[in-house]
Structure 1
Amino acid sequence: MTTRVLVPSGVLGLGFDRAALSRGVAMKPDIIAIDGGSTDSGPWSLGAGQSKYSRAATKAEWRHLMQARAEAGVPLVIGTSGTCGADATVDWMYAITAELAAELGQKLTVARLYSQQPARRIVQALEEGRVTPLTPAPEIDADGLRAMANIVALGGVEQVQAALATGADIILCGRVTDTATIAALPLARGEAAGGAWHGAKIAECGALCSTNPTSGVILVDFDETGFTVEAMAETALCTPHSVSAHMLYENSDPFQLYEPGGYLDVRGAHYTALDARRVRVEGSEWVPGPYTVKLEGARAAGYQTTIMAVLRQQHYVTHAQEWADKLHAFLTAQITERMGLTPPDYTLEFRMIGVNGALGALENRQGQPAEVGVLGIVTAATQEIASEIGKLINPWVLHYPLTEDEELPTFAFPYSPATTDRGPLYEFALNHVMALEDPMSAFRLTVSEVG
């Protein structure tokens, strides 16, 4: 038996080649699977329970995939709905799906797989010794868990298979591993476990395993000895190099990949070019182990206000860091004098955009920019305090002189008002695994009709 999985893109919201999608549908896949999540942009989505992707872009792409599903007559599955896979973003995807079903005249059964965890469940698991830290992991306790904005558990193939077993046309998953939606059906149909997990890892980011990553669409055939992968865009080729290299992507070990219930070992895998477009992979192994699910949590870490000035006068461009350090010391004293606040009541940092804004002290490139953007970031316990500090420092960010014997400078504010309230700041606060006896015990399914 062969199980054919069509992967339209690495993530919903980034786009894909529609002609390539049509080509993939014409090849009669057994399932269409796409990821909807990412932690690449940090903890905000999980903390806020919101997608980082545009609703309009998400809806436009989901429309094409719902039409492709109807043409192919197979299930359509999305993993980690709405970037973070929280309950709120699963429901966000459900609302989009219901809208499109009505617009397209489709009557559908939709399964929602929820992955969000109540704090009390994690507290109980912690007390029972079923929560284990990964490396690195912050210290956690009951109070810290209760203070988290959102906690999710990463489901594996077992949870996706339970959703598939409902017979739903569309499955909207909460947080699951990137590979779970792709490997679930091949494993349920008895294909080789090592090949199923390995092929899912290769296809998780769509055409990133090809010579044209932005084309998006990948087709994977799974069978009892391995898998074959092919890019659907005419301009994209899968080669042994491009396919094998994807084991390096977002993976600390290029030969092992841990998933709920075990790990994938590809040390014995061999990659063969069947032709200019297709690669055959065999020899991967699945090593069963204890059933654990990874936990992700985000908590509020204060509120932020930002301010930016642009330095263009050569004297200040050359001495930007010196100016920022001197300004920081002056403003710290002003905030204490006028507001009675001292660190750690707040933090104030300046980043030199164009000098070392990304890497800070780790920057090893040197150059002479024409201008330097100075980004000030204020973090405090409340938005009111952060906003007040932002307004207090405003005139000096605009006019502060480097030395006392020079004329008062005037820098450029790129927008007005110069300060921007960013709202709550979130931080990741869990990097642990939780042991489960029953894979579904920390997840729940809801099945509904739409359209």
Structure 2
Amino acid sequence: MGSINNSPHHFKNIGLLPICHIVTPVGNLGYGFHEEETNGALESCVSSNVPTAIILDSGSTDSGPSKLALGNMTCPRNAYVRDLTKLLRLVDKYKVPLIFSSAGGDGSDGHVREMVEVIEEIASASGNEHYQLKTIAIFAEIQKSLVKERLSAGVISGCGPVVPPLTEDDIEKSSRIVSQMGPEPFLDAMLANPDFNVIVGGRAYDPSPYIAYAAFKASASFENTSTEDKKRLFGGFAHMGKIMECGALCATPKSHGATATLYSNGTFDISPHSPNSRCTPQSVAAHTLYEKSRPDLLYGPGGHLDLTTAKYEQLEDGRTCRILGATFTFTRDTGLPYQTKLEGAQVIGYRTMFMGSIRDPILIGQLDPFLNDLVKPYVAGQHQDVGEWQLDFHRYGQHQVSTLPSQVGQPGEVLIIGEALAATQEIANGLAATARFGTAHGGYVNQKATSGNLAWGIGGKLEIELGPCAEFCIYHLMDLQPGEERLSLTPDSDGLYSQEPKTALTGEVEKDPEAIPSTLGDIALFLRSKNAGPYEITFDVMFENDKEYRLVKDSDMLNKQAVAKLLQRKEEEIVWIGFFDQARAFKVTIPRLRHGRVHPNGSYMENDIWAAQQYLPLMNMKLPERFLRYWMADKVGESSS
């Protein structure tokens, strides 16, 4: 079990004054966590007599728009009951506060209330009668009328260059709109209720509750923030929150929980709870690339975090990383208005799917024209009077070769998933049924098997109703007027507040040092792809040592032209591309496209909502001769020395 040396003697020797400890059991409430590891971390922290809190995130746009559009939660309600039962037990045992944000996944008002109800149920359960909980709820939904007013005033813009302009129709069709809160409402709530022990937050910038608690314990206000000391202090708070909101994802191998210790000059330490994991300078620096369009400047409510001067140091225990040097610049100090991110989604129709597989190599060889030029026109001919609709097909395994003894070298089995979208569920059902029939019985050139083209009936289903289909329609920045970013300190009838505008599998890869690399994947320590908001996909490539990193950087193999061609994008479409020396990493961010058009994640025909499987073109990128010359020369130099 991980522990941190928090003795007063240790702090005196290193000359740092601790502000607080923050324990994050897992990167998302509802995912489950190791209670024993969290218990051990809290015992160590509380025994140091330094203020301690349990803080974790509970939401994201990662899993798509259905939460905002349909009122779903990221996890089943019983998963939140399970996690909160364990967390409240720890709150009671160690007398530490619990703070979490973006309740239910989207941070909508309804989900904030749902989490408050769960907490009340747990507190009133048999055996918990002694719990003394002061729970504060902060809401983040915003009225459509205000958004329309600000749109008319011209103070709303897309969050990123690929996000389309907002329209009044987008506002009207959205089921609800949330405003991503900064740390100000959380800090205001803490100051107004210093004896709180639970805060349930609506939609928030993920680091916000971390920043707020650190500021609360440091007695750091949002006044006079233009000084270098304040910029470094809040830079440390924001950098810590950015890393900690994902738990110990910053560790190697990644694990569930982590603890941060913050100091009075903005320096902070991070250590994982798992005894098999450690936080290293590279693993922590690399995490600042995660899910972001660029690694050096990270924008959030009211300003931006600058990591260009951040430094990372391995401490003597080999498991703890010390971080310092980041700065946070508040937009108000540059003469610009405070901006908040708006999020909203709409229902665009109803979906039905069917699925089955095709093994016939004759059909697989002409699968695209069969589906596009035969099946789709057939469906259109049978449904001419049903209004607008869409039909498309996912194809899995289309270009793979079989290893079966009777079929070696021939095309392998292809899984087909047909997906229909229409104004009603009944129409979508009919479209999918017709498409299934057309796929199963359509004729094709040189056909020999006439009893049916499709192996179907998985789960005994002909078609599977998927219900309403959601799509992001609001992902925009809105200017706030001075003071609107703060908390309304007048509670509603329930005593609740609102913001003014209204066990993981891990492993490490061992590399053969003598093997001659042929692809980028051979020399990379890690490669990953991930959504950076609904409209962008970002790719990170990290290297184990400075030599390999410098070889790649100096060879110019990852130039804009080469990467654009590899990822099948135009050069001018690349949102950001470059190297990040602190993490020995390369990063590129591109728009998320479907059929050549920018399209947000999680809607119709989605097949990789996190974009987590899009890194293969980079992993399989052939190393150019100029790189291999660099690499061989380096190896020769090593052997001669």
Q: Same fold (TM over 0.5)?
A: yes
- Aligned ranges for residues 248-259 of structure 1 at < 5 Å? 248-259=289-300
**Residue of structure 1 equivalent to 2:63:** 41
* Aligned equivalents of 1:264, 1:368: Cα separation in 2: 53
- Aligned ranges for residues 8-407 of structure 1 at < 5 Å? 8-26=25-43, 27-28=45-46, 30-103=52-125, 104-105=128-129, 106-135=131-160, 136-165=162-191, 166=193, 167-190=195-218, 192-214=233-255, 216-225=256-265, 226-275=267-316, 276-289=318-331, 290-336=337-383, 339-341=384-386, 345-355=388-398, 370-403=412-445, 406-407=448-449
- The answer as to whether partners of 1:120 and 1:146 remain within 8 angstroms in 2 is no
- The answer as to whether partners of 2:166 and 2:476 remain within 8 angstroms in 1 is no
Q: Which amino acid aligns with 1:68?
A: L
Cα separation, partners in 2 of 1:424 and 1:443, compared to 1, 3 Å: farther
**Residue of structure 2 equivalent to 1:422:** 466
**Residue of structure 1 equivalent to 2:477:** 433
> Which structure's residues are more often strand, by fraction?
1
Report which stretch shifted further, 236-245 or 394-403: 394-403
Taking only the aligned residue pairs, the percentage that are identical comes to 28
* Aligned equivalents of 1:234, 1:424: Cα separation in 2: 44
- The answer as to whether partners of 2:376 and 2:435 remain within 8 angstroms in 1 is no
- The answer as to whether partners of 1:154 and 1:294 remain within 8 angstroms in 2 is yes
Cα separation, partners in 2 of 1:341 and 1:146, compared to 1, 3 Å: closer
Q: Which amino acid aligns with 2:397?
A: G
Give secondary structure in 2 for the equivalent of 1:293.
strand
Question: Offset at 1:188?
Answer: 2.6
- The answer as to whether partners of 1:400 and 1:408 remain within 8 angstroms in 2 is no
Give secondary structure in 1 for the equivalent of 2:431.
helix
Question: Offset at 1:221?
Answer: 1.0
- The two structures have a TM-score, normalised by structure 2, of 0.64
- The answer as to whether partners of 1:335 and 1:341 remain within 8 angstroms in 2 is no
Give secondary structure in 2 for the equivalent of 1:422.
strand
Question: Offset at 1:182?
Answer: 1.2
1:121-175 deviations in Å (ceiling 9; x for gaps): 2111222333232322223233331221121110011011123232332111110
Larger Rg: 2
* Aligned equivalents of 1:149, 1:368: Cα separation in 2: 49
* Aligned equivalents of 1:209, 1:87: Cα separation in 2: 31
Cα separation, partners in 2 of 1:207 and 1:368, compared to 1, 3 Å: farther
1:368-408 deviations in Å (ceiling 9; x for gaps): 66311111111112222212222333322332232386442
* Aligned equivalents of 1:250, 1:407: Cα separation in 2: 48
* Aligned equivalents of 1:408, 1:162: Cα separation in 2: 71
Structure 1 unaligned regions, length at least 5: 358-366
Give secondary structure in 2 for the equivalent of 1:307.
strand
Give secondary structure in 2 for the equivalent of 1:305.
strand
Question: Offset at 1:306?
Answer: 0.9
* Aligned equivalents of 2:134, 2:116: Cα separation in 1: 11
Q: Which amino acid aligns with 1:237?
A: R
Give secondary structure in 1 for the equivalent of 2:252.
coil
Cα separation, partners in 2 of 1:292 and 1:13, compared to 1, 3 Å: same
1:247-285 deviations in Å (ceiling 9; x for gaps): 101111211111211111111111111120111111111
Question: Offset at 1:443?
Answer: 10
Question: Offset at 1:312?
Answer: 2.5
Aligned length: 435
Q: Which amino acid aligns with 1:179?
A: P
1:328-369 deviations in Å (ceiling 9; x for gaps): 344244334xx4357xx1111011122379xxxxxxxxx966
1:188-219 deviations in Å (ceiling 9; x for gaps): 333621111111111110000111323x1111
Cα separation, partners in 2 of 1:229 and 1:334, compared to 1, 3 Å: same
Question: Offset at 1:222?
Answer: 1.1
Question: Offset at 1:50?
Answer: 1.5
